[in-house]
Structure 1
Amino acid sequence: MSDEELAKDLGLISALAVGIGTMVGAGIFVLPGVAAAEAGPAVVLSFLIGGCIAMVNAFSVSELGTAMPKAGGAYYYINRGLGPLFGSISGMGDWMGLAFASAFYCIGFGGYLTTLLSGVVVSLPVVGTVDLLPTIVLGPLVLSDIQMGALLAGIVFVGVNYIGAKETGGVQTAIVTLLLGILTIFAIVGFFSFDLETVTADGLTPEGTTAILPGTALVFVSYLGYAKIATIGEELKNPGRNLPIAIIGSVAIVMVIYSILVGLMVGIIPYDSISESTPMSDVANVIFEGNLGVIGVTSITLAALLATASSANASILASARINFAMGRDKIVTDWLNEIHPTFATPYRSIAVTGLMILFFIAALGSDLEVLAKAASVLHLVVYALINVALVVFREADVPEYDPDFTVPFYPITPILGFSLSLGLIYFMKVEEIALGLFFVVGAVVWYGVYARNRTDREGALSNYILSRPNEMPDAAVSAANVASPSGESQYKVVVPVSNPRTESDLLSLASVFAKANDGVVQAVHIVEVPDQTPLSEGSEHMRQIDTESQQLMERVRESTDTMDVPVDVRTVVSHRAFEEVFDVARREKADKVVMGWGPGRPWSAGRAERPLDELAHDLPCDFLVFHDRGLETDRVLVPTAGGPDSDLSAEVARYLRDQLGSEITLLYAVDGDDEAAAGERFLTEWAAEHGLEDAAIRIDTTGDVEGAIEGAAREHSLIIMGATERGLLSRLVRGSLAYDVVHDVECSVLMAERPTSRSVRERLFGLRRDE
């Protein structure tokens, strides 16, 4: 099934709103009081250090996001870079972390909603006895008025996300604009109430300097929003420009907001007197006096509602996209991939995520700290893996990895991001770390039990290791093999390349087969080195060869019609080019190998004794050997006498007909005119069985198979010829083709051999039981 695509509805302002809106809520309206009690007035440093760690990671996320602007963000990068095992960890971690965070924000919304309604009830004595948000008892769960408000918020914002990204972006932009306006007024008024003596009364670090980093670990949940912009990268307009601006810009803007507002708080109210539940409301009561006090406190309460609402909204948006991306890769059920026909959103993913959020609100909503810390720990693990993925993409030199933005000071930046992310977890409480590890272990178990047998995605890391088994430690190769997915793989056509300058026709042929099966093309540049040259030396030299190969193949791709099929290119150094073809086919789990034959290809000089070990086993897949005299597919001749290799010839002919509109002619040779009718019946039935009813039928009665093919070849541009029982590949390397006609005709010939149950001796030496 082809991948669903999401509409590109979001601009730069909407992307910035997603990042800022997600971050501002908890950082200002919930956490300052708790964090100040932890770190003292130096809590401002806790926020700044947290912002610096977020900024380092933001550079890595920006590079990866511009290289791969896909739904799922961090999950997508880690899955493609480190493989589906780590993809499961990051996807489940990010998904669950965002679900926890969304529930946390909704609880915050419910708290401020209760406060607002309480104020309304007090001011309206007629309805003063009415319980607007009653406590609900559901079996063992007792839902408070705050949880009821949170459930209401969750339902509303899940519904907004269900409708579509454009509506979500518009709501988010409006919320953030109004929120920043209110906070600006608060900062200006609060500036005149700021007192430096309040900050320094007990010193800047009354709880000790060692409390600053635990404070950072506590407030880091305030910086989760920036990476969520990448999860909507597939829906961004001009992601190469807008994505890094939105990610880095949102972190910088929020750092300034946090520094100013938290600094004002500890300068207006002593750090140990700031309310842990409504810190902004407490400060508003101080800075606004008289009638302005009611207006100011009400405004701040409304701002808190907007902030927590925007955080919840943005987190639901991001978490649903991660769920969608995992479904697309079969980490979770593919049922989640469905795009709504009207709203163009992954509505099933949003619905499932929404149900989880509502469950967390009901089950865990009475303990805000659990929700917040669970979200923070899981995200720090994901950020650490993001930095590792970036290094893998750079070092593995993945062809399609071409970011519009690159991190400064590579590799220092990603290494620092990895270290700081994991290092900050150290300052969490043991139970919070244990909760994060529980979900990490759960993701590993999920991969082993469910996803490994269904997903077909190989990461760049495992591909890099498995393509260099002789250079890598045995432990690394074993680990890569164990972690590799065992599910049904994506259809893959491998093209062994000897000279990238001359492989245009092979790539075109391979693209036809891949296009017909929604597959990909894997071009492998095989560089043969002498036995005297150690492969380690070849590997060092290979980097230069690989760079040149990538450049050459890029030019070939630009001038080749690959039918929009993904074409991956890599270089392999080997002492035995022919054997390496088989190794690559097995390693890549290829469905077909399309290889050229003729002068200049190292495997053309093979000997039967060299590939014995390879040919002693069944062929790993279908092999198509192209004798190239120019690729013209308008008139295709298919000689056949039945058998599995003729079945493959028919399959290839159908692909050419369906993808390129080729006219197909079937040829069957019989001995004499008296067998012509029987021959025509056979060929007609064979054509019907192989989906070639519209092909022209040609019967030759001379009894000379090679002569019949030579004669028909004059009227055709390409011959597709199946191998006989004598064994095509073994004949090729020994220099004695089953049909000499391959050398005699003027058009190109595509020879086909399909794996069969022939014995090893029959496959190697072409011996039949009746000989």
Structure 2
Amino acid sequence: MAIEVRLSREMRLLDITMIGVGAMIGAGIFVLTGIAAGVAGPALLLVFGLNGFVALLTAMAYAELGSSYHSAGGGYTWVKTALPDPSGFLSGWMSWFAQAVACSLYALGFGAYFKLVLDAVGAPDFSVGFMSIEKWLAILTVILFSYINYRGASEAGKAGNVVTVGKVLIILAFIVAGLLVMARQGGVEIAFTPFLSEGWGGVVAAMGLTFIAFEGYEIIAQTSEEVKNPRRNIPRAVFLSLLIVVPIYLLVAFVAVGAVQAPAGMAVTDYLGQEGEVALVRAADQFLVGGGILILVGGLLSTLSALNATIFSSSRVAFAMARDANLPPVLGHVHTRRATPFVAILFSAALIIFMAVALPIEEVAAAADVMFLLLFVLVNLALIKLRKTRPDLDRGFKVPFVPVVPLLAIGTMLFLTVFLLIRYPMAMLAVGGWLIAGGFVYYQYSRKREKAFVERTVWMERIERHEYSVLVALSTPRTLESLMEVGIAIAKRHGGEIVVLSVAEVPEGQSLLSGRRAARKLEAMLERAVQYAESRGIVARPVVSISHRVSHGIVETARVEKCNFLVMGQPDTQSIFERLVATAVDRVLQDAPCQVGVVYGTVRSEGISQILLPVTTGPNSRLAAKLAPVFAEQFGASIRAVTILERHLSAAEAEKQVTDAQATLTAAGSEERLEVLRRRDVARGLKQATKRGTLVMMGAPTAESLQAILGETVPAQIAQSKRAPIVVVRNVAEHRVRKFEQLFFGRSR
């Protein structure tokens, strides 16, 4: 049965709401308010209001889909489910990068704010090595919060709650002090006149600059696999976070423009724009004793909470993509005790640190906004599609007026995207470069692995539904009994059927129709094979495939028939040319969507008294250990499990091999006693352990490509000795993961 890896559900409504608030009230409100005021003028209020409306449109989609799909990955998971490839991969690729860039910004923001604190207390200016103190502070902060996330989701939530509540209190103090000043001064309307001083172009530009401060609901959705009662809590957290954040943004903008006194002859918003990222610090100094220091502390807390949230989010995207075979499987590992995706956290932290240290983050920040906007476009398209294709989903919230609302969201997102790309041409280069890199990764790496993953999943589901079939590929009547015996044993074990296949090969350049005569010649052999299976109580179906290549015909039949296991024969002796052809066939068989068994020698229905099981390590050896009892039951034989230690091995190496072999038996659920044999080499050891009446069952061993062509593999050497037949098995999923390794190093386990 397939084992599904799940994350522990520890997070409450408060935890995920605070994660969303922490992600939104990040560096943006402290650093970008002054800059956006300079771009939009007094219409900064309108900027935050419109961004809140645009964010609400997509937030509703996140509330609905987040309440329906309770797994890590957020928008990536939904897009992958609803839209055709490579939309799913690209959505995850964009999300991972955008969140990592945002996290790098927050880390650098923390370093910059802390440096201001050091300056305020009179600390000397210094640097360490080739980097400034700000960057070292950023690195240390990323490491700290990566460790907190590694400790567990509840730890991350608690840490985020503390800093989020702290910075909200500081902002509220800033707002209250500013409102009191405005009440004493009067004449507030002067600061807001003319309201659209920079025109609508300034409003849209400022919306693009600050939109990243509204994307916290994406992070909330990515917590779904770790949230208690996600159907209820995800929608509530999405709307609560916006309900908290948008009024705070509006009040901060209102106070910053209305309470600050600009130098004579200068508009307030021009003054704020001139002060840039420290504008709120200067504003707080005017109307609150110690206000500048307080805002610095708030900036530190805001960058920390946003950094915590985006480390959490980026690692969950990488985890989800690895679990779906879009990224290397190591990123999908979950810590056995902490129940956190620790490898994904480590890789995300490394990516964040690299960008913070090596890349011009200022140039890429706009690209992060664009990538979030494009991701939200895909999410809204997924919402429309899933409403049509999956009306049965258990939705905790439903977006009203579909498809009008999501189409409105898509239109506004695309408008902002185009405007940002025109205004910030470097963002266009960054987005284009990252998407091109993503396309390369998808088509060169992820697509094949994802296809194998899907086929593997379907294969396992068919086993669980007891829909098992074995494909037996026959090429000559001489091997019929051997291959059918192996196929029958496996089919009996799963209560399945046998598909008997023979391939009529047509020379390249000729029409496949010319293979009909050859196909008719194969019918008698197939009929005999079907009768052989039925005499043993197994249902069998004959299939003839006409193909230009035998290997292609076998693989395609395995895929079309949805077979779970493929049995094929291998001659005992081969010329160099035959070995070369066989090696090519072996490479093609790596694409077969099922487990593979290659039979050497002759397997008879009678006369087998012992199953010899050479045990090593890896998925192929585990598969052999699982199948050994099947053949023992078929032939009424005993099982002898052995591991062979070559004499040149050191004591430590020998001990490790024995430990690994025992672990293989345990993982396969075998209780057989492991016998340890020390011999000059493996082939000699297996020959000596083999006697008449033995069937050798082994996982596909390591074999260098040149050895397979110019020399003899271990199974071929044993089969040539005529001592015993051999069945060599390969586990399809793990074998395919190592396709790159085998191609370049000739290794297969």
Please give the TM-score of this superposition, normalised by the length of structure 2. 0.61
* Separation (CA, whole Å) in 2 of partners of 1:515 and 1:36: 68
Structure 2 residues without counterparts, runs of 5 or longer: 261-267, 471-540, 569-603, 613-625, 637-749
Whichever residue aligns with residue 512 of structure 1, its letter is H
1:322 pairs with 2:288: no
- Asked if 1:242 is matched to 2:230, the reply is no
Q: What's the counterpart of residue 378 of structure 2?
A: 385
Q: Do residues 24 (structure 1) and 25 (structure 2) align?
A: yes
**In 2 relative to 1, CA 370–2 (structure 1 residues): closer, same or farther, beyond 3 Å?**
farther
Q: Check conservation: 1:453, 1:488, Cα contact below 8 A.
A: no
In the alignment, the residues of structure 1 paired with residue 453 and residue 340 of structure 2 have an alpha-carbon distance, to the nearest angstrom, of 27
Determine whether 1:511 maps to 2:465: yes
Query: How far, CA to CA, are the matches of 1:53 and 1:515 in structure 2?
Result: 52
Aligned to 1:7, the other structure's residue is in SS state coil
Alpha carbons 2:325, 2:453 under 8 Å: kept: no
What is aligned with 2:283?
283
The SS at the match of 2:6 is coil
1:88 corresponding residue in structure 2: 89
Partner in structure 2 of residue 426 of structure 1: 418
1:492 equivalent in structure 2: 458
Give the counterpart of 2:221 among 226, 230, 251: 230
* Residues 1:58 and 2:53 are matched in the alignment: no
Partner of 1:362: 357
Answering whether residue 185 of structure 2 is matched by residue 185 of structure 1, we say no
Work out whether 1:411 is the aligned partner of 2:377. no
- Counterpart CA distance in 1 for 2:50 and 2:150 is 36
1:198–1:266 CA contact under 8 A, matched in 2: no
Taking the aligned partners of 2:285 and 2:468, their CA distance within structure 1 comes to 68
Q: CA deviation at 1:696?
A: 9.7
Unmatched segments (≥5 aa) in structure 1: 122-127, 457-485, 496-506, 517-607, 626-642, 645-677, 698-771
Amino acid at match of 2:280: M
Residue 160 (structure 1) aligns with:
148
Contact 1:157 / 1:313 at 8 angstroms: preserved in 2? Answer: yes
| Distance (Å, rounded) in 2 between the aligned partners of 1:258 and 1:385 | 27
The corresponding residue for 1:585 is none
Alpha-carbon distance, 1:433 to partner = 2.7
Q: Is the 8 A contact 2:324 2:453 kept in 1?
A: no
Q: Shift of residue 357 of structure 1?
A: 0.9
Q: Is the 8 A contact 2:31 2:276 kept in 1?
A: yes
In structure 1, the partner of 2:76 is 75
The whole-number CA distance in structure 2 between the counterparts of 1:407 and 1:423 is 22
Q: Distance in 1 between matches of 2:24 and 2:385?
A: 29
User: Is the partner of 1:427 in helix, strand or coil?
Assistant: helix
What code does the residue aligned with 1:693 have? Answer: A
Equivalent positions of 1:118-133 (< 5 A) are 118-121=119-122, 130-131=124-125
What does residue 259 of structure 2 align with?
A: 268
Residue equivalent to 2:113: 112
SS of the residue corresponding to residue 2 of structure 1 reads: coil
Distance in 1 (CA, whole Å) between partners of 2:248 and 2:301 is: 16
Q: What residue identity is the alignment partner of 1:389?
A: A
Tell me the amino acid that sits aligned with residue 447 of structure 1: Y
Q: Residues 199 and 335 from structure 1, CA distance in 2 versus in 1: closer, same or farther, beyond 3 angstroms?
A: farther
Aligned equivalent of 1:728 = none
Match of 1:451 among 446, 456, 461: 446
1:333 paired to 2:333: no
CA separation of 1:684/1:281 partners in 2, compared to 1, >3 Å: closer, same or farther?
A: closer
User: In 2, distance between residues paired with 1:334 and 1:26?
Assistant: 33
1:396 Cα deviation (Å)?
2.3
1:168 aligned partner, one-letter code: A
CA contact (8 A) 1:109 1:309 kept: yes
Cα deviations by residue, 1:513-561 (Å, 9 ceiling, x for unpaired): 5899xxxxxxxxxxxxxxxxxxxxxxxxxxxxxxxxxxxxxxxxxxxxx
- The one-letter amino acid paired with 2:253 is V
Alpha-carbon separation, structure 2, partners of 1:688 and 1:280: 70
Compute the displacement of 1:137 (Å). 4.5
Distance 2:309 2:464 in 1: 43
- Distance (Å, rounded) in 2 between the aligned partners of 1:156 and 1:693: 55
Check whether the contact 2:66–2:224 (CA below 8 A) recurs between aligned residues.
yes
Offset of residue 341 of structure 1: 2.3
Q: Distance in 1 between matches of 2:166 and 2:611?
A: 74
- Aligned partner of 1:6 in structure 2 is 7
Q: Distance between the aligned counterparts of 1:383 and 1:332, measured in 2?
A: 22
1:225-253 C-alpha deviation (Å, 9 max, x unpaired): 12111111100000000000111221222
Query: 2:159 and 2:296 mapped to 1: Cα distance?
Result: 19
Distance, in Å, in 2 between the alignment partners of 1:397 and 1:515 is 30
Match in the other structure for 2:394: 402
Deviation at 1:390, TM superposition (A): 1.4
Q: What does residue range 461-500 of structure 1 map to in structure 2 within 5 Å?
A: 489-492=455-458
Where does residue 693 of structure 1 map in the other structure?
632
Greater Cα shift, 313-322 or 678-687? 678-687
CA separation in 1, counterparts of 2:431 and 2:255? 34
The structure-2 alpha-carbon separation of the partners of 1:510 and 1:115, relative to structure 1 and needing over 3 Å to count, comes to: closer
3-state secondary structure, aligned to 1:394 = helix
Question: How many angstroms apart in 1 are the aligned matches of 2:310 and 2:140?
Answer: 16
List per-residue Cα deviations over 1:269-292 (Å, max 9, x = no partner). 21111121212211111111xxxx
Give the structure-1-normalised TM-score. 0.59
Deviation at 1:196, TM superposition (A): 4.7
Contact 2:79–2:87 (Cα < 8 Å) also in 1: yes
Task: Read off the aligned partner of 1:235 and give its amino acid letter.
Answer: E
What is the distance in 2 between the residues matched to 1:155 and 1:376?
A: 25
Report if the CA contact (8 A) 1:107-1:368 is conserved. Answer: no
Shift of 1:398: 7.1
What does 1:35-46 align with in structure 2 at a 5 Å threshold? 35-46=36-47
Q: How far apart, in 2, do the equivalents of 1:231 and 1:88 lie?
A: 16
CA displacement at 1:379 relative to structure 2: 0.6
CA distance in 2, matches of 1:284, 1:95: 35
Query: Contact conserved, 1:106 with 1:309, CA < 8 A, in 2?
Result: yes
Q: What is the one-letter code of the residue matched to 1:52?
A: F
| Aligned-pair CA distance for 1:116 | 1.1
When the two chains are superposed, the root-mean-square deviation of aligned CA atoms in Å is 3.4
The whole-number CA distance in structure 2 between the counterparts of 1:343 and 1:494 is: 28
* Superposed CA offset, 1:573-600 (max 9, x none): xxxxxxxxxxxxxxxxxxxxxxxxxxxx
Q: Which amino acid aligns with 1:174?
A: V
What SS does the aligned partner of 1:409 have?
Answer: coil
Whichever structure has more helix as a proportion of its residues is 2
- Determine the structure 1 residue equivalent to 2:16: 15
Compared CA separation, residues 327 and 180, structure 1 to 2 (3 A)? same
Separation (CA, whole Å) in 1 of partners of 2:437 and 2:225: 28
CA contact under 8 A between 2:191 and 2:257: conserved in structure 1?
A: no
Q: What is the aligned partner in structure 2 of residue 220 from structure 1?
A: 211
